[in-house]
Amino acid sequence: MKFTLSWLKEHLDTDADLTAIVDGLNRIGHEVEGVENPGAALAAFKVARVLTAERHPQADKLQVLTVDAGDGEPLQIVCGAPNARAGLVGVLGLPGATVPANGMVLKVAAVRGVDSNGMMCSSRELELGDDHDGIIELPEDAPVGTPYPDYAGLDDPVIDVSITPNRQDCMGVRGIARDLAAAGLGTLKPLDAVVAGLPAIDPQGDGPNVRTNDSEGCPAFYAQSVRGVRNGPSPDWLQRRLKAVGQKPISALVDITNFVMLGLGRPLHVYDMATLKGGLVARRAKAGEAVLALNGKSYALDESMTVIADDAAVHDIGGIMGGEDSGCSDTTTDVLIECAYFDPAHIARTGQKLMLTSDARTRFERGVDPEFLDDGLAIATRLVLALCGGTASNVTRAGKPPRVGAILGYDPTLAEALGGLAIPAERQRDILESLGFTVQPLDANGDPCELDDACDGFRVTAPSWRRDVDGPADLVEEVIRIEGIDKVPSTPLPRTPGVAKPTATPEQKMERRIRRTAAARGLNEAVTWSFIAQDEANAVGGGAWTLANPISEDLKVMRPSLLPGLMMAAARNVKRGATSVRLFELGRRYLGDGERLTLTVLLAGERSPRGWANGKAQPFGAFDAKGEALALLEAAGAPVGNLQVMGEAGAAWHPGQSATLRLGPKMVLAAFGMVHPSLTKRFDLEGPVAAVDLFLDAIPAKRATGFARAPYTPPALQPVTRDFAFIVPTSLAAGDLVRAVKGADKAVITDARLFDLFTGAGVEEGKKSLAVEVTLQPGEKSFTDAEIKAVADKIVAAAAKLGASLRG
């Protein structure tokens, strides 16, 4: 919501400066997003008069002007504008000024051999309009030497405020002024005083033929016609005001409706009566109907949508946007002014279906004041009479607006109980009344009384423009924000004496450990969207949950995998020059049977840069992903020593270069390996990409072992190591062999690890040599040779079950 300071002061009688108003808005809950002063950029431009104009000696299309800028000696200016002439009063940019349209800094310069001491400016160059055919022409009596922003009324700061969805009353300048007045920054002017300069209405003849057949979507439809109008450009003051807040002036009739909407929060619509066939009716659209809207687009309608139509066609998507066919033009002479109340829920549903937004929709779906129909229509009509002339008809009132304004019982002590701030009852009544609420003190019997010691509470009636108030807590909010949220004391919560009990759950502790481990291993944490596009979800198997009405097609499906988000993040980093991307994300993926806590790692780019030792840069491989998977699973508390490498990870993974880590055939704890090339191409990543999916919710919980652990006692005797080299089939996984060796004698064997892989001379085709180092831990006495041989025999026997034999 944007408004100018002068516009605000038309409704608010105040001596407060801009800083105090901005601070006040923030203090009472209206976040100020920015303040701009369009006049500041034009401070170096002045009103100037052209004294003489002579042809440039070196260029037929240029003139040499002498210009009076009010500073004494006339200045010489070279100008190419066709309308430059002696006696013209325009706008001069002096050396040092910056031209807003192109950022050029003016300076004294020679143009075709003739010095020019500035520039006479056009509207487009000053970003005041689209006219670039000539320089600005001002009235002859414009004061020469005056800064142009002061003369043109451009020195008027524009305040941009973020209005929360519940404050529909502040979607107009008057609502903002009311809140500031309640906060003590002035007095709200009576509405009659604001519009006192407009002509009175002397209605002639019957009102226009309008009715409503849709009491749910459009409960009330008021209208008034004005005949004999003269449409054209709106006056400068109105155009400046609309331009300042980002609105494009169109014509006087259209600009009036925008002015009333922005100033008073009341959207209206004006129809050219010459384009209408019969009366207007608010009704539900019929299947197959369409309307060409003012934005130039055609919209297909359905039976759930409220429209305004005549006997021949639809002319308005009710409360959202008017139709192009009945819009006003320069030839319009008779107009119908519509002022209707549309149901907020109907407006929201229609706007969502059509994916159509407008300033009117923004206000109607929040809920405009249903009791401001007559006043809003009258003010718009008076503006039409003032700016376009004509004769107004009587008002036609079809339907009846809903009655709003909750009646609540309110205990003033709730301000302290709920808001934490003790405020006298009298002060609370003053605040509520300044905001438009009606407050009646009550005694203990619920009867009206005076505000004194016998008062036991209030009966509060909310004004018609505050449909968001429906309970005592809402009244507390109003009182506290106006009194000052900064006055609420900071009070610590009570704490039980002694040492606080730990509150982190085992899952939270695991997440902390695994995050620290990932960061320690050089991975960077990423946080990506939980929603992704449909085709991105399809690339990883498809999503189970899809939004019917997403805010964006790119955020439509709840992610079935964390891979798409990380791959898009990796692609962004690579495109910005990153040579090595190591990302991880701990989050949830959403499947048909619920959400799953998952940690995903993505490795892209260079594993190690090129150098003298390894030559060219080395990419990441599947075993890098496996190493990350095992390290992170160990940090999460998984029994890493019992894991088995099985199968391929799935369609998103590279066949033959991916696998899963499992505890048995059915319990999958992780998938790792290389991402499928088609998937990397889909996300615009070049080269191999390795990844890991850790399914943290599949890790079995540890068994409870009590609060104390047995003290660690190191073995008294040193361990013994023995090496075994086995000839095994090429298809045998090394992990399976190590697991079999380690389980040959669990009482004695404490560790087993692979330390060599060999194929070639001495090893027959289809075989490979795997060397395993086995650690034996003696107990109370050292091993004898016979005992070591017995363990060795068990190891060989266990390996033989897998088709392995000792290498000769």
Structural domain includes residue 714: no
Does residue 360 sit in the same domain as residue 242?
yes
Structural domain includes residue 706: no
651: CATH: 3.30.930.10
- Give residue 680's pLDDT: 95
pLDDT value at 313 more than 90: yes
Q: Which of 36-45, 190-199, 310-319, 335-344 has the lowest mean pLDDT?
A: 36-45
Could you tell me the pLDDT band of residue 276, with boundaries at 50, 70 and 90?
very high
Residue 396: Cβ within 10 Å count: 19
Could you tell me the pLDDT band of residue 735, with boundaries at 50, 70 and 90?
confident
CA 697 to chain centre: 32
Residue 161: Cβ within 10 Å count: 18
Question: How does pLDDT run across 105-124, given as a tens digit for each residue?
Answer: 999 999 988 999 999 999 88
Torsion 558-673-688-657 (CA) sign? negative
Q: Residue 741 is which amino acid?
A: V
Show which of 371, 399, 427 is a domain's final residue: 399
Question: How does pLDDT run across 707-733, given as a tens digit for each residue?
Answer: 566 777 788 899 999 999 999 999 898
275: CATH: 3.50.40.10
**What's the CA gap between 688 and 625, in Å, rounded?**
12
Q: Which two tokens stand for residue 28?
A: 């009472």
Question: How does pLDDT run across 667-691, given as a tens digit for each residue?
Answer: 999 999 999 999 999 999 999 999 9
Could you tell me the pLDDT band of residue 133, with boundaries at 50, 70 and 90?
confident
DSSP code string of 348-410: HHHHHHHT---HHHHHHTT---TT-HHHHHHHHHHHHHHHH--EEEEEEEEE-PPP---EEEE
Could you tell me the pLDDT band of residue 132, with boundaries at 50, 70 and 90?
confident
At residue 479, φ and ψ (nearest 5 deg) are -65, -45
The DSSP secondary-structure symbol of 555 reads G
Does residue 277 sit in the same domain as residue 346?
yes
Annotated binding site for Mg(2+): which residue ranges?
A: 468, 474, 477-478
- Give residue 453's pLDDT: 63
Q: Residue 207 is which amino acid?
A: G
Angle subtended by helix axes 506-520 and 622-635, to nearest 10: 140
pLDDT value at 463 more than 80: yes
Question: How does pLDDT run across 507-540, given as a tens digit for each residue?
Answer: 999 999 999 999 999 999 999 999 999 999 999 9
728 burial (CB, 10 Å; 0-12 / 13-18 / 19+) is: buried
Let me know: does 251 contact 229? Beta carbons within 8 Å: no
Structural domain includes residue 102: yes
Let me know: does 518 contact 601? Beta carbons within 8 Å: yes
Q: Rounded to whole angstroms, what are the CA distances from 769 to 102, 645, 646, 732?
A: 75, 19, 21, 11
Mean pLDDT value of segment 482-489: 92
**What's the CA gap between 300 and 367, in Å, rounded?**
25
- Give residue 808's pLDDT: 75
Does residue 556 sit in the same domain as residue 585?
yes
Structural domain includes residue 394: yes
**What's the CA gap between 35 and 543, in Å, rounded?**
44
pLDDT value at 624 more than 70: yes
Angle subtended by helix axes 173-182 and 252-264, to nearest 10: 30
Mean pLDDT value of segment 560-580: 95
Does residue 321 sit in the same domain as residue 373?
yes
Does residue 552 sit in the same domain as residue 576?
yes
Annotated binding site: which residue ranges?
A: 468, 474, 477-478
Mean pLDDT value of segment 272-286: 95
**What's the CA gap between 79 and 74, in Å, rounded?**
15
**What's the CA gap between 574 and 553, in Å, rounded?**
25
Specify the residue for token string 């490795």: 603
- 3-state SS assignment for residue 570: helix
- 3-state SS assignment for residue 101: coil
Let me know: does 65 contact 77? Beta carbons within 8 Å: yes
Could you tell me the pLDDT band of residue 60, with boundaries at 50, 70 and 90?
confident
- Give residue 704's pLDDT: 60
More confident position, 72 or 416: 416
**What's the CA gap between 181 and 431, in Å, rounded?**
10
Q: Which two tokens stand for residue 333?
A: 């002479």
pLDDT value at 140 more than 70: yes
Does residue 622 sit in the same domain as residue 526?
yes
**What's the CA gap between 97 and 111, in Å, rounded?**
18
Identify each DSSP E strand in 592-678 by its residue range. 594-608, 618-619, 644-646, 653-663, 667-675
Let me know: does 162 contact 346? Beta carbons within 8 Å: no
pLDDT value at 705 more than 70: no
Does residue 416 sit in the same domain as residue 297?
no
765: CATH: 3.30.70.380
Let me know: does 144 contact 132? Beta carbons within 8 Å: no
Structural domain includes residue 148: yes
At residue 769, φ and ψ (nearest 5 deg) are -105, 125
Domain count, the chain: 6
**What's the CA gap between 82 and 75, in Å, rounded?**
19
Q: Which of 70-74, 227-231, 582-586, 599-603 has the lowest mean pLDDT?
A: 70-74
Structural domain includes residue 704: no
- Give residue 708's pLDDT: 60
Q: Residue 209 is which amino acid?
A: N
Does residue 45 sit in the same domain as residue 33?
no
| Of 435, 438, 439, the residue nearest 451 (C-alpha) | 439
Please state whether beta strands 644-646 and 31-36 pair in parallel, antiparallel, or not at all (unpaired).
unpaired
pLDDT value at 456 more than 90: no
- Give residue 213's pLDDT: 96
Let me know: does 689 contact 602? Beta carbons within 8 Å: yes
**What's the CA gap between 80 and 59, in Å, rounded?**
10
Structural domain includes residue 199: no
Does residue 674 sit in the same domain as residue 694?
yes
Q: Which two tokens stand for residue 431?
A: 């605040």
Angle subtended by helix axes 18-27 and 173-182, to nearest 10: 80
97: CATH: 2.40.50.140
- Give residue 127's pLDDT: 82
Average confidence score pLDDT of the chain: 92
Mean pLDDT value of segment 194-216: 94
Beta bridge partner(s), residue 715: none
More confident position, 453 or 18: 18
Q: Which residues of 27-57 are buried (b: 16+ CB within 10 A; e: fewer)?
A: ebbbeeeeeebbbebbebbbbbbbeebeebe
More confident position, 500 or 464: 464
Q: Residue 252 is which amino acid?
A: A
The DSSP secondary-structure symbol of 650 reads -
Show which of 457, 486, 515 is a domain's final residue: 486
**What's the CA gap between 590 and 690, in Å, rounded?**
22
Please write down the long-range contacts of 480-484, taking CB distance under 8 Å and 24 or more positions apart. 480/415, 480/419, 480/421, 480/423, 481/27, 481/28, 481/29, 482/28, 482/179, 482/182, 482/183, 482/431, 482/434, 482/435, 483/421, 483/423, 483/427, 483/431, 484/27
CA 694 to chain centre: 31
| Of 475, 413, 473, the residue nearest 438 (C-alpha) | 475
Cα distance from N-terminal residue to C-terminal residue, the chain: 86
Q: Which residues of 302-334 are buried (b: 16+ CB within 10 A; e: fewer)?
A: eeebbbbbbeebbbbbbbbbbbbbbbbeeebbb
Does residue 29 sit in the same domain as residue 47?
no
- Give residue 405's pLDDT: 87
**What's the CA gap between 575 and 571, in Å, rounded?**
6
Residue 211: Cβ within 10 Å count: 14
Could you tell me which residues come within 8 angstroms of residue 638 by beta carbon, excluding any fewer than 6 positions away? 669, 699, 700
Does residue 590 sit in the same domain as residue 644?
yes
Q: Which of 152-161, 183-192, 253-262, 558-567 has the lowest mean pLDDT?
A: 152-161
Mean pLDDT value of segment 597-626: 91
Angle subtended by helix axes 472-483 and 425-434, to nearest 10: 90
442: CATH: 3.30.56.10
Show which of 632, 665, 698 is a domain's final residue: 698
**What's the CA gap between 244 and 181, in Å, rounded?**
24
Torsion 622-623-625-630 (CA) sign? positive
Q: Residue 699 is which amino acid?
A: I
Mean pLDDT value of segment 269-281: 95
Structural domain includes residue 710: no
- 3-state SS assignment for residue 504: coil
Residue 781 lies in domain:
720-806
Does residue 650 sit in the same domain as residue 522?
yes
| Of 728, 731, 736, the residue nearest 770 (C-alpha) | 728
**What's the CA gap between 301 and 309, in Å, rounded?**
13
